[in-house]
Amino acid sequence: MAEPLLSRLETSREAFVEALEAVDADLVTVPGVMEDWSVRDIVVHVAAWCEHATNALELATAGRGGEFAYSTAETDAMNVRILEDARRTSPSAALEREEASFSAFRERVAGLDRELLSLRLGNGDTVEEVIAYDGPDHYAEHTGHLRAWFAPDDDEDAD
């Protein structure tokens, strides 16, 4: 098992869920959290990247890690497709997808043979790197966006 990575994944996801709980329900589909992305869009986005990592782990555990050929040059195009999908998704369906995607990803990480962490995949990244950038690092990035957008305005008290 990849214990430290699993702990980081769980902790970063918990922080993301906490940040979501601070969101006013009326603002879930309002653009502006990150450029023209809404909270719903970000929830679908992190779900899609959890699915991406789960796919990489499935390939690695099946001895087919060389088939994982994701390139960072594809990221922008992938994010455009994810955003288009998100805009057709209800907020409740977005949350359900994220929960299911996270659970599948977490299960894969929890059951992962430690020796696979250093395995280089078809794109040159190790399994450990994919887990980190699609999981805890990604959750932390978007938790920061949510907190920044929905944080109480301290300047209001100054008047």
User: What CATH number is attached to the domain comprising 138?
Assistant: 1.20.120.450
- Assign 154 a pLDDT band (cuts: 50, 70, 90): low
CA distance 23 to 150: 6
Instruction: Pull the structure tokens for residue 130.
Output: 């994919």
Which tokens sit at 10?
Answer: 């769980």
Which residue type, as a one-letter code, is found at position 142? H
**With 90 as the cut, is the pLDDT of residue 92 above it?**
yes
- The domain tally of the chain equals 1
Whole-model pTM: value is 0.93
Classify residue 156: in a domain, yes or no: no
Q: In the predicted model, what is the mean pLDDT of residues 6-28?
A: 96
* Residue 130 pLDDT > 90: yes
Tell whether 158 is covered by a domain.
Answer: no
**37: domain range?**
3-151
Is the separation of the CB atoms in 65 and 122 below 8 Å? yes
Evaluate whether residue 159 is within a structural domain: no
Q: What are the helix (H) ranges across the chain?
A: 3-21, 39-61, 75-87, 91-110, 127-134, 136-150
- What phi and psi values does residue 25 have, to the nearest 5 degrees? -55, -30
Rg (CA), the chain: 17
